[in-house]
Amino acid sequence: MEFFERFAIPHPSPAIYASMVAIALVTIGIIAGLTYFKKWGYLWREWLTTVDHKKIGIMYLISALLMLFRGGVDAIMMRAQLSVPDAELLDAQHYNEIFTTHGVVMIIFMAMPFIFAFMNLLVPLQIGARDVAFPRLNALSFWLFFAGAMLFNISFVIGGSPDAGWTSYFPLAGNDFSQHVGTNYYMIAIQISGIGSLMTGINMCTTILKMRAPGMTLMKMPMFTWSAFIANLIIVFAFPVLTVALLMGTTDRLFATNFFTSDNGGMDMLWANFFWIWGHPEVYILILPAFGLYSEIIPTFSRRNLYGYKPMVWSMVLISFLSFLVWTHHFFTMGQGALTNSIFSITTMAIAVPTGVKIFNWLFTMYKGKIRFTVPMLYSVAFIPLFTVGGVTGVMLAMSAADYQYHNTMFLVAHFHNTIIPGVVFAMLAGLTYYWPKFFGFMLNEKIGKWAFWSLTIGFVLAFFPMYITGLDGQARRMYTYSEATGFGPLNMVSFIGAAIMAIGFVLILWNVFYSFKNSSREIGSDPWDARSLEWATHTPIPEYNFARLPHVNSSEAFWDAKMNGHQLFRGEYEEIHMPSSSGVPFIMGMIFFVAGFSFVFSLWIPAVIALLGIFFCMALRSFEKDDGYHISVEEIKETERKLGGAK
Amino acid sequence: MKIDHSQPLEYSTHQNQLNILGFWIFLGAEIMLFGTLFMGYFTLEGRTGAGPTPAQIFEITPVLIETFVLLTSSFTIGLGIHAMRLGRKNAMLSFFAITLLLGLVFLGVEIYEFMHYYHVGATYQTSAFTAALLTTLGTHGAHVTLGLFWGLFIILQVKKRGLTPQTANKSFIFSLYWHFLDVVWIFIFSFIYLKGMM
């Protein structure tokens, strides 16, 4: 029995026991359903072994939505606990675990897969390619993300969740102050999915540099592809820093080394520095693809080309460069002295300049345009003022002297949610609505979509703007309760109501998917929004080879030119198409990584070593494998094109 | 698979070119990885706690042997790729085999070195300095170990399948990896050992 005691929850509660039952029931339900409907073969052939970038993108999308709801439940629990003074819904330990998992889930397991979903779905189509450079590696990236996400999510029912904050600062995250295995989960689950992210970064950079359609020079790439390229470059240079930091944190916890401890020479601030050298570029990894999506949506619904293409590109390059030079602003109060703080204040404020350039370019794109207020456009229009408020409060926080007032208060919490929600989440929802017809063959209902949009926007303002005030009044973040005498009560109640309205908005989005699946027309053609770039030039549903003939490109809006100016995208004869073959190895490797990670979390060395050997065995297998893919013949292409309604 | 005969074998297909560019980008990430390890080491090298200082544990002889062996192996793998370009399969295989043997000697000496540290009381847990030192050296050593297996697999494949665009591509990429490990070692030699012994 002693062996099994390590898996027990250190702070059990009825809610956790209920979750255990729910997880067990859902798992049994899924297995029973798949067996009853005889879908195991379909699942394995079409999804688990796929290397098709479109299907991998859809799997990222589903995972991101699931994680959005997991993180959202955490958020609602926190807001409920704080809605009245001296509430007893959650105890301190529980609250610590929830704000930690909320942060990690939302950043690493919701926002990251969401942007990877769009990169996978869109980049090959936008550059007129048939897949990414390394399709098999792409599948492995997904399964590593998935293994990491699952490992992190089982923490709250097996062994206990991490409770040291999503930043996991040492010495708090060290063995002395975080004794149960929660922080092991943090270190190892993020490590596994981080390796997947790094491989996606390499894959996408190679794809964008080497696989563009004839005529598409770098300065003729669609803006989303540019933003994906820059974000992936940042991934390649930022994620190895996290890899090392997590490795050191893991050895500190599992092997009692002294990197970040308080004695034997350890230095806790080294963690904070490493974490934010990765962490600040990370927020630009998230926001740049979001900017890219807005840059696709705004021109489409303004019926004007993007204002200032070149400044848009240069501002992203500048942002990516500056993103590596600002990390210290996350801990101005932690003792590096006035000179260092001043330098980092200035670099931080400098980021507002290229970001401002982008804001004005979007405004000028809309100026004198024929604007259609569809759901994606509503999100984009709401994004501009709301994000600007988040940016301005960011500049306030960047002033290191004033930061002593704001640091670790709800003001900061309001600021970063004010950039991430209207910036990233709105972009993802706009992109979801905008690209839904391309990938699923039907439109989402506009009316329900607008209800969801208004719920989210009003809910957002109600939930987060009061925090600016309570933060300035001194309400600290991460405090699980406060007394009535502080006077924070009413504004926190407003926040809770706002959070509840947002929750309704997210439920409406789910309802919209269900409702539209039932009721929407399937006769929408391949270009329902009258859009401008190459992803809309191919059929809906998209054939597995994307383009029967590779498109010829003459501008950054080649499809618009084809529609308006008679530019001929597809020319020449059909040729045999070479495609990569499916493989189960990435999925199996993901599962082995999961086992390895779980074993490391609980210091089970024998299974850990066996699992690591399994990983190396899979790599060796790949080295010896002879896999030339397969070919689609000209007849098959013609047949497919005919079925899809006309040759392209 | 279209083969472009105007290019060297390892660059002759589109997929080969993708593989090589992808690997260069991977090496960019590796530079960041080792760069972070070096930053960690420089921050922590003076923080020895109750444990020994760098000057007390570093020994010049094994380090010189390691350096000499690894630098030579970088030269021999270069000769191997040169032989591959000339289409001389057996010469190439011999040079690759010599490279891996030298790598094995390097690894043996490094293991001896680690045991020496253990015996003089510089274990993984002793201090922040020893943890940073052993993690940096260990990460490099783990890369060499992985490289030994990878190189062996490539030798077996070239032996069996001959010099095809695929095997030539793999061999070339492996040589990039091996040279990279050599470059990292030069930094380790200069900024960890020499600096520590001065």
Could you give phi then psi for residue A272, rounded to 5 degrees?
-55, -40
**Which 3 state secondary structure label does DSSP give A96?**
helix
CB contact under 8 A, B28 and A241: no
Whether residue A509 is contained in a domain is answered as no
Q: Which of B190, B80, B183, B174 is nearest to B140 (CA)?
A: B183
Q: Which of residues 204-233 of A touch B (CB under 8 A)?
A: 205-206, 209-211
According to DSSP, residue A625 is labeled -
Q: Which of residues 395-414 of A touch B (CB under 8 A)?
A: none
Name all domains of chain B by residue range, CATH numbers in brackets: 9-197 (1.20.120.80)
Whether residue A60 is contained in a domain is answered as yes
Answer for the pair A146, A589: CB distance below 8 angstroms, yes or no: no
Whether residue A503 is contained in a domain is answered as no
Residue A204 C-alpha, separation from nearest chain B C-alpha, in angstroms: 9
| Residues of chain A contacting B28 with CB distance shorter than 8 Å | 236-237
Nearest to B48 among A251, A265, A624 (CB): A265
Q: Which of residues 12-71 of B touch A (CB under 8 A)?
A: 14, 17-19, 21-22, 25-26, 28-30, 32-33, 35-37, 40, 43-44, 47-51
Q: Angle CA(A391)–CA(A201)–CA(B31) in degrees, nearest 5?
A: 100
The pLDDT of residue A3: 81
As a whole number of angstroms, the distance between CA A205 and CA B25 comes to 8
Q: Which residues of A451-463 are buried (b: 16+ CB within 10 A; e: fewer)?
A: bbbebbbebbbbb
Answer for the pair A79, A161: CB distance below 8 angstroms, yes or no: no
As a whole number of angstroms, the distance between CA A229 and CA A205 comes to 6
CB contact under 8 A, A623 and B43: no
CATH number of the domain where residue A610 is located: 1.20.210.10
CB-facing half-sphere around the CA of B34: CA atoms within 13 A: 23
As a whole number of angstroms, the distance between CA B42 and CA B192 comes to 9
Radius of gyration (C-alpha) of chain A in whole angstroms: 25
Helices (H) and strands (E) in chain A, counts: 22, 2
CB contact under 8 A, A623 and B170: yes
As a whole number of angstroms, the distance between CA A81 and CA A73 comes to 12
Alpha helices in chain B (DSSP H): 14-44, 54-57, 60-85, 89-119, 128-161, 165-188, 195-197
| Residues of chain B contacting A270 with CB distance shorter than 8 Å | 40, 43-44
Residue A603 backbone zone (phi > 0: left; psi -120 to 50: alpha; other: beta): left
The pLDDT of residue B15: 92
- Judged against a pLDDT cut of 80, whether residue B1 lies above it is answered with no
Whether residue A542 is contained in a domain is answered as no
Q: Which of A405, A393, A380, A397 is nearest to A464 (CA)?
A: A393
Q: Which of A578, A567, A444, A621 is nearest to A516 (CA)?
A: A444
Nearest to B17 among A210, A236, A241 (CB): A210
Q: How many Å from the N-terminal Cα to the C-terminal Cα in chain A?
A: 66
The pLDDT of residue A1: 64
A476 bridge partner residues? A409
Nearest to A209 among B21, B125, B154 (CB): B21
B135/A contact by beta carbon, under 8 A: yes
Nearest to B43 among A251, A256, A267 (CB): A267
Query: Directed axis angle between helix A135-154 and helix A53-82, to 10°?
Result: 20
As a whole number of angstroms, the distance between CA B55 and CA B198 comes to 7
Residue A138: its H or E element? helix A135-154
Written as six digits, the tokens of A383 are: 């994004």
Answer for the pair B8, B85: CB distance below 8 angstroms, yes or no: yes
Written as six digits, the tokens of A463 are: 């939930």
A577 bridge partner residues? A632
Written as six digits, the tokens of A452 are: 């969801």
**Which 3 state secondary structure label does DSSP give B78?**
helix
Whether residue A93 is contained in a domain is answered as yes
A274/B contact by beta carbon, under 8 A: yes
The pLDDT of residue A644: 84
> ipTM for the complex?
0.95
Whether residue A277 is contained in a domain is answered as yes
Could you give phi then psi for residue A630, rounded to 5 degrees?
-140, 170
Domain count for chain A: 1
Residue B169 C-alpha, separation from nearest chain A C-alpha, in angstroms: 12
Written as six digits, the tokens of A328 are: 């210290």
Whether residue A17 is contained in a domain is answered as yes
Q: Which of B172, B173, B151, B130 is nearest to B30 (CA)?
A: B173
Written as six digits, the tokens of B8 are: 């060297």
A131, A204, A264: which to substitute to probe chain B, counting the most B Cβ within 10 Å?
A264
Whether residue A274 is contained in a domain is answered as yes
As a whole number of angstroms, the distance between CA A558 and CA A567 comes to 8
B184/A contact by beta carbon, under 8 A: no
CB contact under 8 A, B124 and A251: yes
By the 10 Å C-beta count (0-12 exposed, 13-18 middle, 19+ buried), A573 is classed as exposed
CB contact under 8 A, A265 and B47: yes
Residues in Cβ contact with A495 at an 8 Å cutoff, skipping those fewer than 6 apart: A79, A82, A83, A462, A463, A464, A466, A467
A58/B contact by beta carbon, under 8 A: no
Instruction: Measure Cα distances from A112 to A168, A177, A193, A281 in Å.
Output: 19, 30, 10, 13
According to DSSP, residue A305 is labeled P
DSSP assignment string, A315-370: HHHHHHHHGGG-GGGGGGGGS--HHHHHHHHHHHHHHHHHHHHHHHHHHHHHTT--
CB atoms within 10 A of CB B79: 16
As a whole number of angstroms, the distance between CA A129 and CA A127 comes to 6
Q: Angle CA(A237)–CA(A241)–CA(A245) in degrees, nearest 5?
A: 170
Q: Which residues of A600-612 are buried (b: 16+ CB within 10 A; e: fewer)?
A: bbbebeeebeebb
CB contact under 8 A, A203 and B49: no
| Residues of chain A contacting B47 with CB distance shorter than 8 Å | 265-267
Give me the residues of chain A with pLDDT under 50, please: none
**Which 3 state secondary structure label does DSSP give A472?**
helix
Answer for the pair A297, A329: CB distance below 8 angstroms, yes or no: no
Closest CA in chain A for residue B43: A270
Residues spanned by the domain of A183? 2-370+529-533+547-643
What does chain B come to in residues? Answer: 198
Residue A316 C-alpha, separation from nearest chain B C-alpha, in angstroms: 20
| Residues of chain A contacting B44 with CB distance shorter than 8 Å | 259, 265, 267, 270
Q: Peptide bond preceding A222: is omega within 30 degrees of 0, i.e. cis?
A: no
CB contact under 8 A, A240 and B36: yes
By the 10 Å C-beta count (0-12 exposed, 13-18 middle, 19+ buried), A627 is classed as exposed
The pLDDT of residue A515: 97
Residue B108 C-alpha, separation from nearest chain A C-alpha, in angstroms: 21
CB contact under 8 A, B124 and A264: no
